[in-house]
Structure 1
Amino acid sequence: MRRPGAAGHTLLAMTQLLVRLESNREQAAALGQEPVAIGRHPDNTLVLHDDRASRFHCVIEPQESGRWLLRDLGSRNGTWLNDELVRSATLAVGDVIRVGSTKLVVEEAPAENGLLGLRQQRAHPLSRSRRSSRAGASDDTHAPGAPATAGPAWAASLEETLRALPSVRDESGMVTLVDASGADSDALLGSGQGSLAFRLIIRVAERARATDIHIEPKAEDAQVRMRLDGEMVTVAELPRAVFDKVLGLVRTVCQLRVANPREVLDGHFAARFGSSRVDYRASFTPSVHGHKLVIRVLDARNAPRSLNQLGLPPLMHEAIRKLCSQNAGMLLVSGPTGSGKTTTLHNAMREIDREKRNVITIEDPVEYHVEGVTQIPVDAEKGVTFESMLRSVLRQDPDVIMVGEIRDVETARTAMQAAMTGHVVLTTVHAKDTLGSIFRLLNLGVEPYLVANSLNIVLAQRLVRVLCDRCKKPAPLKPGQIVKMGRIAQGATKAYTPVGCSRCLQTGYLGRRAIFEMLQVADDLRDVIMSEPTIHAMKQVVEQGVFTTLAQSGWKLVVDGVTSMEEIERVVGEG
């Protein structure tokens, strides 16, 4: 659709623009890195004293192309561009925006000031000391070459981090929060420091693919850390006043009441980044200096979406795919917390024809939705346990059942009996490796004949960090390492080690991938489980076939330059 009055106007990505009130050149805001919110509410970038304007009337958002988009925010009188009513339209030099009875003009920033002199500010005369702290909020979607604006040191640190990180898909300059009720929130449209801080924090988390955000109060300030590729990384220090505002903002979007300082609170909210949505779970826990906030990031875009994307070797991939097509059997996945077990089970379910088969999951909690699957959350406080729900699910005519975790002997027995009576069962257990998984079940008290006859595949897995391609450097393999890897080394004499750069936040790693160990339970192994279940006896049987340990899977990645020997030893052990 052609934008109103666009003829004759051009907008180059390199142009420095501003929007100002037609009646007063002092009341203006630069079109730079951050959205410019316009309306009557004092938290807007441009505050209008106009009764015909809405509290949050419209917003001007930077786009990836370097252009700026005017978008109405559901105002009661509408937003007008060049005398035409618009819901959204691209801006150009010379455009006239009408909000209520107020007119604003889009023009080039004065050459003597540029964006350094003209900061984003509210639409009433301000002294330099009162200019908005939003200045300088970084976004790779601003006009290339635009100089950075001044701002608080903590904001500058977050902006620098944001610029260094690789861009993500569907990214735009506007972030919209969605509160616990599912309604859009205006919490990030304000120009206050709390809004600025939280907007930058969740944008850094999105780009860095963080799984958790930790905001922890200290005596005089607060520390912001993120879990990146399984490791904690400090990204900023916030003044205590800003921390308090961030806490209040998150409580508001979670729709939680003002908390007693000793009370534990849990909530949830979401955010839209352009066309993408990310869900969050928030946990407030009392500490010596006040509530610590931990936010779990549930970004489905970062998770593999099929069995093919897990990086399974062909033999393992085919074995799991075949099991999922059968009428009965059990896939048991083992590993520590956070090793990707649930992701593997979800992608195994995607191999199943969910149109023709009844697939039910029991999870604690349900984090990601799987199309065509009935997903049931566990709630121990209400007596909804894995074992009780599994018995209930068996009366729901299931073909495939996923049990999030086997924690007790009753759940284990029920799941294994289901696998032997015409159901495919997918489940997990906490164990070090595949053989350890079998002993975990036996130690729970499950009868050996049940373990032997129900299991088809046992899969152990870990997540290892991938070296940053920008900064990794080659290093010779030590003779002892070459000997330890044996045939896996394939004559290799060097590997790569982490260094650290701005792109990987000085960690030396960027992203993770899984390594696997698979045990197919055949008759000879079943005999051992029922008669002589010792590690030595089972190893003798396993080593007669094709069997790759977790360490060997990791060493292959070392030889290929994907990860480092230090990372494999950290995750798996000495092998």
Structure 2
Amino acid sequence: MHLLIRERTAEVQIRVKGDLKTAKGISLHADQAERLARAMYTGLATVKEATYNPLSFQDAQIAGYVLPRSGLTSVRIIRGPSWPAESGGGFLVARLQYEGTRREIDPCVARAAAKRLKLATPERPSGEFHLGRMGFTPLQVALIERIMRNPQGIFFVTGPTGSGKTTTLYEIMMELARQYPEQRLITIENPVEYPIQGSLQLSTESERFGEMLRMALRMDPDTILPSEIRGVEEAIAAFQAAQTGHRVPTTLHVNDPYEVFARLAGLDHVRLAPAMIAHHRLIIGLMAQRRVPILCPHCSVPLAQSGRRLPAYLLSALRTWGDLATVRARGDGCEHCDGSNIAHEQAIAEVVVTDEVLMHAVREGDVLRAARKHRAKPGADKPMIEHAIDLVFAGRLDPDDAEQKVEPIPVKELQ
């Protein structure tokens, strides 16, 4: 049973046959729900901390004899603050432990409860999947959807600070909430940046991420999003969550999606070695992302007329990719772009759906060869820099910006 306390109202949800259902017959104001949580903790729990603290995460247990005729041997409780915590937000999750056959349940109690609850599928959030508008290609959107349809496994979104990882994960979590309103989504953030309807959002200090991840496993989750993996403890906790049947999208600060394996091994070369983690049902996807400035179409100028001097190596590399006549550069700015010479920013990315062949090559230790073979597969995404080069030759991205925001433009390899 889940008690979700928001700013003004509260909601009771019950997991029935694997799916969360909203108890429509129970209407609670936030203050009523808070009193209910306090009463369950202080009045019914037989194993608990001495003091109820609304702003702390607390465990408790209600013995079965406290709830006669229920058929319960015990009720395990975890409760604490959740978004919007500053306005009284919180949660209580009660895991009901029944006798093996449940024959001790009083039928009168069961009928009365069923009549009162009026269970229904939780409200589905409105909106659409906006990754395409953010700059992701149709292939990338399809690959991300394929990754997130996996019910368990880790999806690493990588990139430096400011590359748009958080915004992308927010869009993914919103789409999961729309597709699977009957599932519990939990985020662990520092702090909560975007509200996600229907989810439990927990705020904590970065040094407690590993502890919070392990705690979230006791909150009846389907998806757990730790906003960032920084250290060994949260990395191991994330893999434990994936191994126990949970979907775990998260971020990691590396530049290339295939650098994930070296970064994790650097945290713990034994427990996080490729031999231990490089399995396609454990790591289900990888993605690298950047944000690049798109030229204002009204004031951008042909590269040859820009008056800027690009280094010889860059011009030489560009010529291996196409005709420089289509390449444009930043202009002086105009009224359409408020003098910025930039129309907007958009995401560019590389999305990798892992498979057995890729992960076997990673375990063998040749990650570069594994990446090349995977990128050559039909239906696979191409490197992020090649998406940037496409924008350069479409006249939408200054080649200097492509290098500054992504990586140096390479010489095109002969096929």
Q: Give the TM bin, normalised by the shorter chain.
A: 0.5 to 0.7
Which one of 346, 364, 383 corresponds to residue 531 of structure 1? Answer: 364
Q: Percent identity?
A: 30
Do the aligned partners of residues 554 and 436 (structure 1) sit closer, same or farther apart at CA in structure 2, a change above 3 Å counting? same
Which one of 362, 365, 369 corresponds to residue 195 of structure 2? Answer: 369
Do the aligned partners of residues 306 and 543 (structure 1) sit closer, same or farther apart at CA in structure 2, a change above 3 Å counting? closer
1:332, 1:458 within 8 Å by CA — same for their partners in 2?
yes
TM-score (normalised: structure 2)? 0.59
- Offset of residue 374 of structure 1: 1.1
1:387, 1:410 within 8 Å by CA — same for their partners in 2?
yes
Structure 2 counterpart SS, 1:350 = helix
* Counterpart amino acid of residue 444 in structure 1: L
For 1:377 and 1:550, the matched residues in 2 are separated by 32
Residue of structure 2 equivalent to 1:419? 242
1:321, 1:351 within 8 Å by CA — same for their partners in 2?
no
Do the aligned partners of residues 484 and 354 (structure 1) sit closer, same or farther apart at CA in structure 2, a change above 3 Å counting? same
Residue of structure 1 equivalent to 2:64? none
Do the aligned partners of residues 469 and 531 (structure 1) sit closer, same or farther apart at CA in structure 2, a change above 3 Å counting? same
Residue of structure 2 equivalent to 1:550? 384
Residue of structure 1 equivalent to 2:216? 393
Query: What residue ranges of structure 2 are gaps of 5+ in the alignment?
Result: 1-85, 87-127, 410-415
Residue of structure 2 equivalent to 1:569? 403
Which one of 251, 259, 263 corresponds to residue 436 of structure 1? Answer: 259
Structure 1 counterpart SS, 2:327 = strand
Structure 1 counterpart SS, 2:221 = coil
Residue of structure 2 equivalent to 1:125? none
For 1:512 and 1:550, the matched residues in 2 are separated by 16
TM-score (normalised: structure 1)? 0.44
2:132, 2:141 within 8 Å by CA — same for their partners in 1?
yes
Do the aligned partners of residues 329 and 494 (structure 1) sit closer, same or farther apart at CA in structure 2, a change above 3 Å counting? same
Residue of structure 2 equivalent to 1:513? 346
- Offset of residue 574 of structure 1: 1.0
- Offset of residue 437 of structure 1: 2.1
1:419, 1:425 within 8 Å by CA — same for their partners in 2?
yes
Q: Deviations over 1:255-302 (max 9, x none)?
A: xxxxxxxxxxxxx9xxxxxxxxxxxxxxxxxxxxxxxxxxxxxxxxxx
- Offset of residue 450 of structure 1: 3.8
Structure 2 counterpart SS, 1:528 = helix
RMSD of aligned C-alpha atoms?
Answer: 2.6
Q: Deviations over 1:63-105 (max 9, x none)?
A: xxxxxxxxxxxxxxxxxxxxxxxxxxxxxxxxxxxxxxxxxxx
- Offset of residue 492 of structure 1: 5.6
For 1:336 and 1:369, the matched residues in 2 are separated by 23
- Offset of residue 346 of structure 1: 1.0
Structure 2 counterpart SS, 1:516 = strand
- Offset of residue 397 of structure 1: 0.9
2:188, 2:225 within 8 Å by CA — same for their partners in 1?
yes
Q: Does 1:405 align with 2:237?
A: no
- Offset of residue 439 of structure 1: 1.4
For 1:561 and 1:513, the matched residues in 2 are separated by 14
* Counterpart amino acid of residue 501 in structure 1: G
2:229, 2:250 within 8 Å by CA — same for their partners in 1?
yes
Do the aligned partners of residues 339 and 398 (structure 1) sit closer, same or farther apart at CA in structure 2, a change above 3 Å counting? same
Do the aligned partners of residues 562 and 483 (structure 1) sit closer, same or farther apart at CA in structure 2, a change above 3 Å counting? same
* Counterpart amino acid of residue 377 in structure 1: S
- Offset of residue 528 of structure 1: 2.2
- Offset of residue 451 of structure 1: 2.6
For 1:368 and 1:541, the matched residues in 2 are separated by 38
For 2:368 and 2:131, the matched residues in 1 are separated by 32
1:488, 1:556 within 8 Å by CA — same for their partners in 2?
no
* Counterpart amino acid of residue 441 in structure 1: L
Q: Does 1:497 align with 2:329?
A: yes
Aligned pairs, how many?
268
Do the aligned partners of residues 557 and 542 (structure 1) sit closer, same or farther apart at CA in structure 2, a change above 3 Å counting? same
For 2:293 and 2:408, the matched residues in 1 are separated by 17
Do the aligned partners of residues 375 and 523 (structure 1) sit closer, same or farther apart at CA in structure 2, a change above 3 Å counting? same
Q: Deviations over 1:521-545 (max 9, x none)?
A: 211221122232x443334433432
Structure 1 counterpart SS, 2:175 = coil
- Offset of residue 421 of structure 1: 2.4
For 2:383 and 2:319, the matched residues in 1 are separated by 13
Q: How does 1:305-324 map to 2 (within 5 A)?
A: 306-324=130-148
Q: Deviations over 1:211-251 (max 9, x none)?
A: xxxxxxxxxxxxxxxxxxxxxxxxxxxxxxxxxxxxxxxxx
For 2:327 and 2:403, the matched residues in 1 are separated by 14
- Offset of residue 405 of structure 1: 0.3
- Offset of residue 327 of structure 1: 1.3
2:287, 2:352 within 8 Å by CA — same for their partners in 1?
yes
For 1:486 and 1:399, the matched residues in 2 are separated by 49
Structure 1 counterpart SS, 2:266 = helix
Do the aligned partners of residues 544 and 563 (structure 1) sit closer, same or farther apart at CA in structure 2, a change above 3 Å counting? closer
For 1:337 and 1:570, the matched residues in 2 are separated by 14
Higher relative contact order (CA 8 A, sep 6+): 2
Residue of structure 2 equivalent to 1:449? 275
Q: How does 1:95-174 map to 2 (within 5 A)?
A: none
Q: Deviations over 1:495-528 (max 9, x none)?
A: 1111122544543213200110122221122112
Which one of 461, 469, 485 corresponds to residue 297 of structure 2? Answer: 469
Structure 1 counterpart SS, 2:248 = strand
For 1:311 and 1:574, the matched residues in 2 are separated by 21
Structure 1 counterpart SS, 2:408 = coil
Do the aligned partners of residues 459 and 322 (structure 1) sit closer, same or farther apart at CA in structure 2, a change above 3 Å counting? same
